[in-house]
Chains A and B, each alone.
Chain A
Amino acid sequence: MPDLAIVVPSLLNGITTGALYALVALGLTLIYGVLHIINFAHGALLMIGLYAVYFLNVQFGVDPYAALLIVPPLMFAIGYALQRGIITRSSHGRDENILLATLGLSIVIENLALYFFKSDTRIIDTPYSFETVEVLGAFLPLPKVIAFFGALATAALFWLVMARTDLGKAIRALAKERKGAALVGIDTEHVYAMSFGLGIACLGVAACLLLPSYYVTPQVGHGFILIAFTIVVLGGMGSFVGALLGGFTIGIVEAMGGLFLGESLGQIGIFLIFILVLIFRPAGLLGHKA
């Protein structure tokens, strides 16, 4: 039985870690949840974002948070180009082709990273990497606290884009009825690419907020991809608030599971909750029934 004095700090840590997971899942919920593209390259693209933040910091001294002005737009451009140049062209409108194209992309991207960056583990050191904020007797690492608020802000921004802008309306129209959207004059290819770009830009935000407390290697995405898919389904496909809620849930379950069941066995809790939610709420916590 764990010491009760560490339950609260562990819980708070679970919430802040969950925010990082949610950040990675936010982009996926747009791509997977709204556009129904199973993007297996999500982890590999997160890795590109992390390397971008790393090299900006090491080569040009750009702070990871200042890189928020550079990396997300760069990632948006990469996402837009990938969707228009590779995914749409190779899919020919078939879902299984999209799946294989993104899987192939992830392998190509990872191997290119291995070739160019080698397999070294790279970490940046910032003046605030070891700063902590004391909350209810718990020392929360400052980068994680910033990531927590960053996740909230990003989710709010995404919600605003989807709810209040023409682009958001077009994306939602496209998600519901592609042919109908095309008939009313929406440039479907462009909107698809914009959506994919936005999802990947979100990974750029995640990379900026993640690197002060994490590392990057060519395989770094593997640790996040399954968690991100789980969060998207758990929260409800296409729901940004659901992604946040799913992220926090996974973070807390992981922390508590580790505490009560042991660090290795604790991971089971994530998938146990996932299966239970699928049984009792197949559309996810905040998803809408089809």
Chain B
Amino acid sequence: MRRREFLATGVAALGVTGFPAVLRAQPAPVKIGLIHPVTGFIAFSGTQSRAGAQMAIEEINAAGGIKSLGGAMLEAVLGDSQGKPELGAAEVTKMVEAGVHGIVAGYSSAISLATSQEAAKTNTPHVVDVGVADDIMNRGLTNTFRFAPGYSKIASAAVANLDTINKAAGSPAKTALVVHEESLFGTGSAKLLSVELPKIGIEVVDVIKHANPTRDFTNIVLQIKSKKPDIIIPANYYNEYILFARTLQQQKVEAKAIYSVLGGAASNYQFVKEFPDVADQIMDCNHWFNPKSELALARKKAAEAKGLVYTYEVFLTYNAVAYLADAIERAGSTDKEKVIAALADSTWDQHGMPYGATKVENGQNIGAKPVNTQILNNDIEVIYPAEFASAEAVFPMKSNA
């Protein structure tokens, strides 16, 4: 009898203490679809984006997951678009069938256009991480949100900031030449710049479009040399940017500024580390974190501790995931309509960006804005606007010779 009593008591005790953790239903994971070009010609950027997203998921899970859903863990569902919009769209279809609760995609504008359109068919919440084309947000898709700025905002900020920097130096720059890659991002940026630059008194002497990949930039640089623009404005991806910047130096091109708009390399620590001489004094108007934010600096440190180069793809995609997770948290549900409503009325401010609290209009965070950076003393400094600046702009460029 004593043995039976002991067993019965033991079982009862386990039922009270030990078993609940096992028997009580674990909250179902919240599945987040991540679609990025981790292979193909923009694989570097896609891999960086994926790393940023995974970092956000790890940190949110480590902090207890989605608390309003009983501590549900975020679960990444990974997709590779290979740099192709149609494959990105196909990944969305697969993910929706797999039951994802939201999608973060797809690094490039062309891919984001396709993934958001496909996600709209099932009203799946979709946050665009990096894609800057205005068209992504202009189609009236109620499922699509973008935390970062679009390129009309970036281009107009780039032009306005350039005007301020130029005027502060006594307006030495009168002409500019735009070199851009041929996809939606480069072409769209170039078109906007061509319209906006003359409004601040800078004549656009030429606009040169190039293919991806371009194996040799000498021809383009020779054309630049013959036109002698005061400012060279590149808008292209990392591999082409490297070759372009190297060729500028090889051909001894002198300009008052190399002023990138969303330049793949001028806001890239890897480029600065590998080519300090080439990178020196290059300016960029780009996505960048607030260098005066403790949160932003802590995230940078955490990313670098993981061996990541802290490019804008990393922190933009981190924020896209965290913004979606915050919406699910506030919605207290994975119901698509509720998550979409929470994304639309977000006032999230834990992003470390120079944006202020989120304010969404038609899916676009209207507080999002780029800043101007410049490579100075082998580091990337924010030079404009003044409230976020960590250094003074050097303009015109001082000769490296």
B222 pairs with A6, CB closer than 8 A = yes
A125–B277 alpha-carbon span in the complex (Å)? 11
Query: B218 in the interface, Cβ–Cβ < 8 Å?
Result: yes
A-B Cβ contacts below 8 A, count: 102
Interface contact B210-A263, CB-CB below 8 Å: yes
In the complex, are the beta carbons of A123 and B242 less than 8 A apart?
Answer: yes
> Which residues 244-262 of B sit at the A interface, judged by CB distance below 8 A?
246, 249-252
Report if A120 contacts B (CB, 8 A).
Answer: yes
Smallest CB–CB gap between A14 and chain B, Å? 8
- Interface code B199-221, partner A: CB below 8 Å = 1, 0 otherwise? 00000000011110111101110
Q: Given A10-B222, A215-B243: A125 and B275 within 8 A (CB)?
A: yes
Residues of B within 8 A of A111 (CB): 39
| A118 at the B interface (CB under 8 A) | yes
B215 pairs with A224, CB closer than 8 A: yes
Stretch of A77-85, A86-94, A200-208, A254-262 that contacts chain B: A254-262
User: Known: A6-B223, A121-B242. Contact between A264 and B43, CB under 8 A?
Assistant: no
User: How far, in whole Å, are A276 and B367 apart by their CA atoms in the complex?
Assistant: 56
> Once the chains are docked, how many angstroms separate the CA of A289 from the CA of B275?
50
B313 to chain A, nearest CB (A): 12
A121 touches B239 (CB 8 A): yes
**Distance of A214 Cα from B210 Cα, bound (Å):** 17
User: Which residues of the other chain, B, contact A176 by a CB distance below 8 angstroms?
Assistant: none
Name B145-202 residues within 8 Å CB distance of A: 182
Whether the Cβ atoms of B270 and A119 lie closer than 8 Å is no
Does A154 interact with chain B (Cβ within 8 Å)?
A: no
Judge whether A149 is part of the interface by a CB distance below 8 angstroms.
no
Q: Mark A210-224, 1 if CB is under 8 A from B, else 0.
A: 000111011100111
Is B138 on the interface with A (CB-CB < 8 A)?
no
A218–B239 alpha-carbon span in the complex (Å): 12
Interface size on B, residues (CB 8 A): 37
Q: Contact: A10 with B219, CB < 8 Å?
A: yes
Bound CA span A130–B214, Å: 19
Residue A13, interface by CB 8 Å = yes
Asked whether A165 is an interface residue with its Cβ less than 8 Å from the other chain, the reply is: no
Cα separation A223 to B223 with both chains bound (whole Å)? 23
Q: Do B46 and A255 have beta carbons less than 8 Å apart?
A: no
In the complex, chain B residues whose CB is within 8 Å of the CB of A141: 218, 250
Bound-complex Cα distance A263 to B220 (A): 7
CB interface residues, A 112-147, toward B, < 8 Å: 114, 118-121, 123, 125, 129-130, 132, 139, 141
Asked if A177 is at the interface (CB within 8 A of a chain B CB), the reply is no
Interface status of B274 (Cβ within 8 A of chain A): yes
Q: Does B225 contact A (CB under 8 A)?
A: yes
Q: How far is the CA of A201 from the CA of B228 in the complex (A)?
A: 43
Q: Are A132 and B39 in contact (CB under 8 A)?
A: no
Q: Of residues 330 to 386 in B, which have CB atoms within 8 Å of A's CB atoms?
A: none
CB of A2 closer than 8 Å to a CB of B: yes
Which chain B residues border A214 with CB–CB below 8 Å? 215, 243
Chain A stretch 1-37: residues in CB contact (< 8 A) with chain B:
2-3, 5-6, 9-10, 13-14, 17
B223 touches A259 (CB 8 A): yes
Q: Do B47 and A13 have beta carbons less than 8 Å apart?
A: no
A97 in the interface (beta carbon within 8 A):
no
Q: Which residue of A lies closest to B268 (CB)?
A: A121
Is A188 close to B, CB under 8 A? no
Known: A2-B223, A9-B222. A219 touches B211 (CB 8 A): no
A3 lies within 8 A of B209 (CB): no
**Is A267 on the interface with B (CB-CB < 8 A)?**
yes
On whether the beta carbons of A255 and B219 are closer than 8 Å, the reply is yes
Q: Assuming A119-B43, A120-B44, A223-B215, is B209 touching A264 (CB within 8 A)?
A: yes
A14 to B215 alpha-carbon distance, docked (Å):
12
Given A6-B225, A139-B252, A141-B250, residue A267 in contact with residue B211 (CB < 8 A): yes
In the complex, what residue of chain B is closest to A13 when comparing beta carbons?
Answer: B218
A224 — which chain B residues lie within 8 A by C-beta? 215
Q: How far, in whole Å, are A259 and B219 apart by their CA atoms in the complex?
A: 7
A123:B274 contact, CB within 8 angstroms: yes
How far, in Å, is B184 (CB) from chain A's closest CB? 14
Q: Which residue of chain B is the closest to A210 with respect to CB atoms?
A: B215
Residues of B within 8 A of A263 (CB): 208-211, 214, 219-220
With contacts A119-B38, A121-B242 taken as known, whether A17 is within 8 angstroms of B216 at the C-beta atoms is: yes
**B238: Cβ under 8 A from any A Cβ:** yes
B399 to chain A, nearest CB (A): 15
Of A139, A213, A219, the contact of B39 (CB 8 Å cutoff): A219
Cross-chain pairs A/B with CB under 8 angstroms, 25 sampled: A3-B227, A10-B219, A13-B218, A118-B47, A119-B39, A121-B44, A121-B238, A121-B270, A125-B275, A132-B250, A132-B252, A139-B251, A139-B252, A217-B44, A217-B239, A218-B39, A219-B40, A219-B41, A223-B215, A254-B216, A255-B218, A259-B219, A259-B223, A262-B209, A264-B211
Other than the known A254-B216, A263-B219, what 12 A-B pairs have Cβ atoms closer than 8 Å? A5-B226, A9-B218, A13-B222, A114-B39, A118-B47, A119-B38, A123-B242, A125-B274, A139-B250, A217-B44, A258-B219, A264-B182
Which A residues are within 8 Å of any B CB, using their own CB? Answer: 2-3, 5-6, 9-10, 13-14, 17, 110-111, 114, 118-121, 123, 125, 129-130, 132, 139, 141, 213-215, 217-219, 222-224, 227, 254-255, 258-259, 262-264, 267
